[in-house]
Structure 1
């Protein structure tokens, strides 16, 4: 015998009983009547072999007609392979997110979720979006942006032979679009189809001197540098610590622990986002003690020559090397890292200790979480031995110079 369909009058007249009961409205929809008289629309359905329940609303705020319409919409989603409950949650998420779906608004929202990035990485991503993407894509609704449109934006940058920047911008835009997918604004990332459509940059190798004799000559040239004293100290300090140039120029006095003879760089300043310890040799500490009276009023160990409030310019070290006669194909500020890596391996130091001191990426993220202090005793010995070795190379060149004069 067919079940009689629920009428609006029956729903309106339904009263609470000792236990909750249901009034069927057909095709899985029913009105659940609670003991206190409250009435709730529910829909029973099966998805992926499991029985599930969808909450549709409260009667009489949601009428019988509206409840059946929502049921029919849910059944249509099921026919499309979608789970009505998940679709409902997605709808709530969309409502919670910014109603502004323009590319610029979504990008800024994504940036706020990535405050865990190193400060320099975060700022560079924001700058690239503002400079190269927002002028053309910023006001466009993110769901309307096509792959071809993104390619046109990237080709403008590629035409300037900024190949690495083009690839980086594609990656950043891809992260924005994938964030939009994750937050229910898009179904797919349109940048995924761009792989292979752009020029690829050749592997970047920073010029570096690794021959011991030429290293000694470089150290002697640094010793004779006649520019700003702060720059001279940075030039002397760089080969002793071989950090990345950005980490060096943004070093702060508050990060220097003289008693423990170490420099503790916070995670937000590191490329890999993991805090890093740099053991300081007696030579490195001597440089810092000599510099401290001059720059101690600044937050930075190596402040800008123009303002104590700012760190040294990113071009200062390379410009000083050029002034000393070293071309871009001979030596760079970043080259001190290759110099140390090459010679320390030749000196027989453990590769793990060298790589850890270089703060290279740790593929095992769990290991990376506690790895900043790993090999520290050996790294302390290594850093002092390295500083002594550099002194020896410099002294050899000085001795050669004195003998030639004699």
Structure 2
């Protein structure tokens, strides 16, 4: 085949047809190389085409035609380059037609991904400029408040409006740093008659808002309020509220049962009533501390006020509470895992206290007051004071009483905990009478725990 030059293609006319037909067809081919030709059309258009044979997956030869564009938009040199490249693909067993489709799809996918990336960048820029602290705080409040009482809902928003919005409300959420929050909180602390309780609650709410933004919008990566400890501020003066009279335990349990909030918190308060441990001892409880066979919960020394491990016998009622919790939080380390970061955190230090407030028991008792409720009832029953004090994890007042080890009182404490749970449930029986029957029917358990 003679060498074809660009000038030849340029000079080529539709009327130059030299084929076998007497009349010029609507389109005809001018060969440039084996399989490469210019398709001449009646309207004067010159189109580059490449015809080749390719074996399909069935092993049959299939004729395919590739179009390279119109001349002179695509020059002879460019057409030949495409022609050679596609012939090379055929030699490698690759169908140029399929390859071109693949590359086109890949190109479209990349273009789509790039467009999406640019759109996302714009969204992120808009978010950072548009999403101020006030907007995010209100959004968090709207999301969480359906679980709260009307009074608590109003109190939370009022704290933002009073303290936070005037200072950081209009700031973009990603521009707020730990220093800004410390400055805000310290300013509250330095006021005459500072509202210290409100300050501590605000600190917790600031942290909650930032966690919400991190999880929902990914605008920020770190929570500037997370490392601000309550110990950084003046201590709230301790208030001594009366213990709940044991006659009011049924009403407390009725209100707990009717509570519609976070189930983990509800079960935490139920367990607190039955076990009367300190709130901090309960809140951070882990499944590894539970001995299901011996029905004992061992609180490690790190969480105990006296710095010594404390054993809490588990009553039948507490077993049922733990089984409910196991369904909810059994795959997390904490028995009372937080709703926000269940793999890493327990419920907040105020969760149970807020629930007491929401069920209308805030002015009646506190979490610590439940310990006094048990102590008063147990002393009324003339139970051995050493057994009571041991179960309350109180340090003995003299060396003789301190010399007793936990196993010497454990059978009595096991019976005591079951008796108290029964009492809470309305099965009110003198402890002496209960202990006698319990010891006879639970001999094997009492022997096992002392091994």
- TM-score, normalization by structure 1: 0.45
Larger radius of gyration: 2
Q: Which has the higher contact order (CA 8 A, sep 6+)?
A: 1
- TM-score, normalization by structure 2: 0.41
